[in-house]
Structure 1
Amino acid sequence: MDALLFLFAAMALVALADRWPPLALAAVPMAALAGTTLPDWDMALDLGHRSGLTHGVLPVLLALWSPRWRPVAAGLALGIGLHLSADVFPNGMRGFATVKLPGVGSIGRGGSWAWLAVNAVAALAIGALLLRRMASAGVTLVILIVVAVIGAAYLFVTDGGWPALLVYGGTGWALVRRRGIASS
């Protein structure tokens, strides 16, 4: 339920940005909050836990259907990347913890780890690159710091959170250093 509330709040901020453009960027952390729990809506949608439809970048790609929703897509990408990073480190990668694809079923241990890791990194890259295209280097850095605080709080209380925080944070740092996301 929280995911939908944060997602609707982010969408409202984007809608109100017609009158005050900075609200669009305020939507990014709100959508990131939504993204931290949105993948688990697979159970409410009767897709089965760890559905590849929600535990991947598909929700982000759907949010990109219109350029207007890029702030929402950027935040969702960052939040979903955090969620998937934690899912890479389950207590045991079997049964409930494995990724399931429609019409295929479970893709097994190795496939699940690969799916989650690749999609987590892809989500981080998509979110950071979208954000950088929307904002100056300084604003991008501030928003990424806010999302990092959200991520630390989320991963602190989530199974697999500490290893995920190290991997996700390290990947984010490498992306910023390599691509100059917070420079120029």
Structure 2
Amino acid sequence: MDAVLFLLAAAILVALGDRWPILLPAAVPVAALAGTTLPDLDMALGLGHRSGLTHSMLPVILLASRPRWWPVAAGLALGIGLHLSADVFPNAMRGFATVKVPGMGSIGRGGSWTWLAGNALAALAIGTLLLRRIATVRMTAAVLAIVAVIGTAYLFVTDGGWPALLVYGATGWAVVRRRPTG
């Protein structure tokens, strides 16, 4: 339920961004907070735990199709990426921990690791790239620093958090440090 409230707050910031543009990048960390718990809405929606619909980039893709919602999509991507990164490191990848595709069931241990890791890395890349489209370099760095604090706090209390924090942080650093060629 927290995810829905944070998404609503991020949407309000985007709506107010027409009048006060500084609120657009401020929507990113709020949406990132939503993304850290949004994938687990699958249980409230009756999809079963680790549904491939919510534990994926699908919510981000839906939002990213409209440039107005890029701040929310960027934050949601970063938050979902944090969540999925932690899910890559369960105590055991079986049963409850595996990804389920509606109508098909579990995609198994190897498929689940691939699904979660691939979507986590895609979320990080897309979130960072969308953020760079809506904010200056300095603002991007500031927002990513805030999201890093959120991510550290989230992963500190989540199973699988420390290995995920290392992998996600290293990948994030590589994406941000990427230099255009040519």
- If the length of structure 1 is used for normalisation, what is the TM-score? 0.96
* Deviates most, 60-69 or 85-94: 60-69
2:158 match: 158
**Aligned equivalents of 1:20, 1:74: Cα separation in 2:** 19
Show structure 1 runs of 4+ deviating over 3 A: none
* Structure 2 CA distance for aligned equivalents of residues 69 and 178 of structure 1: 25
Q: Given the alignment of the two structures, is residue 121 of structure 1 paired with residue 121 of structure 2, yes or no? A: yes
Distance 2:113 2:66 in 1: 31
In structure 1, C-alpha distance between the alignment counterparts of 2:120 and 2:65, rounded to whole Å: 21
Which structure 2 residues correspond to residues 66-145 of structure 1 after superposition, within 5 A?
66-145=66-145
Deviation at 1:47, TM superposition (A): 0.5
Deviation readout 1:10-64 (Å, 9 max, x if unpaired): 0000011111111111000000000000000000000010000000100001112
Corresponding residue for residue 16 of structure 1: 16
TM-score w.r.t. length of structure 2: 0.97
* Alignment match, 1:42: 42
Structure 2, unmatched stretches of 5+, are none
Identity of aligned residues (%): 78
Unaligned runs of 5+ in 1: none
Shift of 1:178: 2.2
Where 1:43 maps in the other structure, the secondary structure is helix
Amino acid at match of 2:134: M
Specify the code of the residue in structure 1 equivalent to 2:40: D
CA distance in structure 2 between the partners assigned to 1:121 and 1:9 by the alignment:
26
Report deviation, 1:179: 4.1
Distance across 2 between alignment mates of 1:164 and 1:154: 11
